[in-house]
Amino acid sequence: MKTSTLMMVAERAGVSTATVARVLKGKGYVSEDARSRVETALRETRYRPNAMARGLRQQRSFTVGHMLTAITANPFFVNVAHWAEEEALVHGYKTFLFNHNGMAERERLGVEHFIERRVDAVLFTNAVDPANVRLLQAAAIPVVQLERVALAEAPAIVVDNRVGALQAMRHLIELGHHRIAFMGGDPSLIAPYGKHVPSVEQERLGAYRDALAAAGLEQPEGAVRLGRYYNIEDGGSGIEGYRHMKDLLALASRPTAIFATCDILAAGALQAIYEAGLRVPDDISLIGFDDTIGMNLTPALTTVAQPMQELGRAGFRAALAAIEERTLDAAPPLASRLVLRRSTAPAR
Amino acid sequence: MKTSTLMMVAERAGVSTATVARVLKGKGYVSEDARSRVETALRETRYRPNAMARGLRQQRSFTVGHMLTAITANPFFVNVAHWAEEEALVHGYKTFLFNHNGMAERERLGVEHFIERRVDAVLFTNAVDPANVRLLQAAAIPVVQLERVALAEAPAIVVDNRVGALQAMRHLIELGHHRIAFMGGDPSLIAPYGKHVPSVEQERLGAYRDALAAAGLEQPEGAVRLGRYYNIEDGGSGIEGYRHMKDLLALASRPTAIFATCDILAAGALQAIYEAGLRVPDDISLIGFDDTIGMNLTPALTTVAQPMQELGRAGFRAALAAIEERTLDAAPPLASRLVLRRSTAPAR
DNA sequence: TTGTAAGCGTTATCAG
DNA sequence: CTGATAACGCTTACAA
């Protein structure tokens, strides 16, 4: 049985479509008699409004597109997407996900899909190419960037990576660690666009250096390892962290603590340490970033949590504001924060 | 600048909408002259077809809904969804995700969303309530169940859990393990619907028992731990596996190998083992299931991989066949297979 | 080779 | 209080 139309409901109830529409929206005058007839007709036909017809008529789809970077490689994106969707649902919207896997052409394809579907706004949890963001703006579709900004001119909800990173470093320092290594994203590699804003990578690395300096500690030679967080193609394997850690372990004077600015990096580091027959946190302390797979690692990882829920929710709300043409005052960055688990201990 | 319409393009090119439509679809006769004028008009106006209008007219949305169980708790779902989407894209479709988190009412809500959006078909990567599947059937929307079947009357693409599980067990037995424990889903708990079909849990547990029997081995007392795989609410924490493992470690004669039928369970087990000061695989061998987070655990987990890519792809293809009213011969179950990594070693 | 026009299922305006 | 009716943007007979 195909889904029925407003017209069919109207006929069955012996009224016009306008009357059915009135009871559906609960506004406008309808006699008790008509109302009840319509209501039973609605039930009997199992009427479900046709979102395409409605969208066409109202010139909005009640859908927002959400462009993601690496849904299979890093759970971070799934989480942000999940919470954005949750918030969207509350407001009667649905989200449409699209994964670009770090490829600009792919992102372009997604953007065109979004335009064709006439989404009411688009969330980018990481745009790769600012040109794609502009494409949307040219089509008069509001855009909100989450976590990272690719196009400085477009609104964004970002995270204060510095607070959490500083907490992490202070924690390590308080535990008495003097030789602390860093592994993370290479600022020059990861943020080719939007150099104007301090990038996520700059914030994290900066916090590491500043905390060290504030404590009068040296940055151990060869202890800052920069690169990518993971390869999207291999499904987020941690191999990068594994390699960094191998090198770190081979250092003349081995670090006693590591600050890895991604849980996936930390996962690889953990494997290298284990292979070397060392124990975390007994021999080496380790802190991650994001709070994604950290809780499932061995030992459970102390990590800097990103506010994924707030990112998603605030992201959608910002999009909604834009859709409704309300101006939203630029929100301050959301805080990151240290989550203590079992991968850190006093230096020996 | 709002997106332009076919009408606007037609006017600009000095032709009718029908002609524009003809060049757009590349079929029907159009003079070279008209064609080139249309093409430039198309470019100049940055025309993008309106999917809602098209859908309304054609009575199909080129969208399929994909109902997921626990996108944030278990990467399995993300992967299946990803590949289904990938296949969909190839055929000009998009997928619409919806996460029910194990709650029937939530799933119901999602189904109604799908109906309103007039998706052309729905994939269930795990339906909770067969009634919701029926709702779609009543609306004449084709349905395909992936991995698990909640409604025996609806088509499904399933996995042969037995092959992989047997491989895993044989591997352990060949390594000389005699006391092998099992932790996994409770058949009575997890498949309240569709008892007619052998459930995933029955297959896995059955393979464990059969392999033991075939090798003339005993099922060690207290060594079969049944329950849930994880709690969706805590984001897939592995705590269940942790608890199982604690108990297993307290057994009078401790198992030398564990077959955990979910990587998340295995993650928790790994933590308990580590805490006890034991090493994997030196002291205890461990095999997981799914091949999701296994590669990121320490040590990298030997696990039975589910064919997530094929599940997603074949799932979409089955849906497409149903949409196009082609009858598809019931496909045989997809195979699971053992992936060797570093968590198994000879018994000592 | 091209144009006209009738829908698809809603919403919204405007008379009655 | 209620009912016609005109869009929304596209596809597709059918005419010309």
What confidence tens digit (pLDDT) does each residue in B240-268 have?
A: 999 999 999 999 999 999 999 999 999 99
Same domain, A29 and A100: no
Whether A66 and A96 have beta carbons less than 8 Å apart is answered as yes
- Please report residues of A whose CB lies closer than 8 A to that of B99: 82, 85
Q: Residue B287 domain-assigned?
A: yes
Beta-carbon neighbour count of residue A151 at 10 Å? 20
* Tokens found for residue A26: 């609960």
Indicate yes or no: strand D within 7 A of the C-beta of A348.
Answer: no
Q: Residue A328 domain-assigned?
A: yes
Average pLDDT, stretch A325-329?
A: 84
Same domain, B299 and B317: no
Query: Given A48, A139, A293, which is nearest B115 (Cβ)?
Result: A48
Residue nearest to nucleotide C2 (CA to C1'): B19
Q: Is A96 in a helix, a strand, or coil?
A: strand
pTM over 0.85: yes
State the Cα–Cα distance between residues B299 and A8, nearest whole angstrom: 62
State the Cα–Cα distance between residues A344 and B122, nearest whole angstrom: 46
Q: How far is the CA of A328 from the C1' of C4 (A)?
A: 48
Indicate yes or no: strand C within 7 A of the C-beta of B22.
Answer: yes
| Domain range enclosing B174 | 159-307
pLDDT band at B192 (very low <50, low <70, confident <90, very high): low
Q: Residue B346 domain-assigned?
A: no
Q: Residue B343 domain-assigned?
A: no
Q: What pLDDT was estimated at residue A82?
A: 98
Q: How far is the CA of A209 from the C1' of C14 (A)?
A: 70
Cβ distance B99 to A85 less than 8 Å, yes or no, reads: yes
Q: What pLDDT was estimated at residue A178?
A: 97
Q: What pLDDT was estimated at residue A28?
A: 81
- For residue A50, what is the nearest residue in chain B, using CA coordinates? B116
What's B105's domain CATH number?
Answer: 3.40.50.2300
- pLDDT tens per residue, range A99-137: 999 999 999 999 999 999 999 999 999 999 999 999 999
Number of domains within chain B: 3
Same domain, B149 and B91: yes
Q: Is the pLDDT of residue A228 over 60?
A: yes
Q: Dihedrals φ, ψ of B231, to 5°?
A: -95, 125
Q: Is the pLDDT of residue B213 over 70?
A: yes
Q: What pLDDT was estimated at residue B27?
A: 83
Same domain, B163 and B149: no
Q: Is the pLDDT of residue B236 over 70?
A: yes
Q: What is the CA radius of gyration of chain B?
A: 25
Tokens 């297979």 belong to: B337
Same domain, A170 and A288: yes
- Please report residues of A whose CB lies closer than 8 A to that of B116: 48-51
Q: Is the pLDDT of residue B86 over 70?
A: yes
Q: Residue A348 domain-assigned?
A: no
Same domain, A244 and A255: yes
Q: What pLDDT was estimated at residue B188?
A: 87
> Chain B: nearest CA to A239, how far in angstroms?
9
User: Residue B46 has what DSSP assignment?
Assistant: T
Same domain, A246 and A298: yes
* Average pLDDT along chain B: 95
- How many alpha carbons lie under 13 Å from residue A210 in its C-beta half-sphere? 12
Indicate yes or no: strand C within 7 A of the C-beta of A24.
Answer: yes
Beta bridge partners of A157: A146
Residue nearest to nucleotide D13 (CA to C1'): B18
Q: Residue A16 domain-assigned?
A: yes
- For residue B118, what is the nearest residue in chain A, using CA coordinates? A50
Q: Reading across the β-sheet that carries B121-125, which strands appear in turn?
A: B94-99, B63-68, B121-125, B143-147, B156-160, B334-335
Average pLDDT, stretch A219-244?
A: 96
Indicate yes or no: strand D within 7 A of the C-beta of A16.
Answer: yes
- pLDDT tens per residue, range A49-66: 999 999 999 999 999 999
Q: Which amino acid is at B55?
A: G
Q: Is the pLDDT of residue A205 over 70?
A: yes
Same domain, A285 and A163: yes
Q: How far is the CA of B82 from the C1' of D12 (A)?
A: 35
* Tokens found for residue A202: 């700059």
Burial B310-322 (b: 16+ CB within 10 A, else e): bbbbbbbbbbbbb
Same domain, B252 and B205: yes
Q: Residue A340 domain-assigned?
A: no
Whether A289 and A208 have beta carbons less than 8 Å apart is answered as no
Same domain, A180 and A268: yes
Tokens 């477009």 belong to: A154
Whether A117 and A141 have beta carbons less than 8 Å apart is answered as no
- Please report residues of A whose CB lies closer than 8 A to that of B82: 71-72, 99
Same domain, B174 and B285: yes
State the Cα–Cα distance between residues B172 and B345, nearest whole angstrom: 8
> Chain A: nearest CA to B27, how far in angstroms?
21
In 3D space, the residue among A269, A255, A256, A341 whose CA is nearest the CA of residue A303 turns out to be: A341
Residue nearest to nucleotide D2 (CA to C1'): A19
Contacts of A325 by beta carbon, 8 Å cutoff, 6+ apart = none
Q: Is the pLDDT of residue B195 over 70?
A: no
Same domain, A235 and A253: yes
What's A16's domain CATH number?
Answer: 1.10.260.40
Q: What pLDDT was estimated at residue B193?
A: 56
Q: Is the pLDDT of residue B191 over 70?
A: no
Q: Residue B339 domain-assigned?
A: no
- pLDDT tens per residue, range B114-170: 999 999 999 999 999 999 999 999 999 999 999 999 999 999 999 999 999 999 999
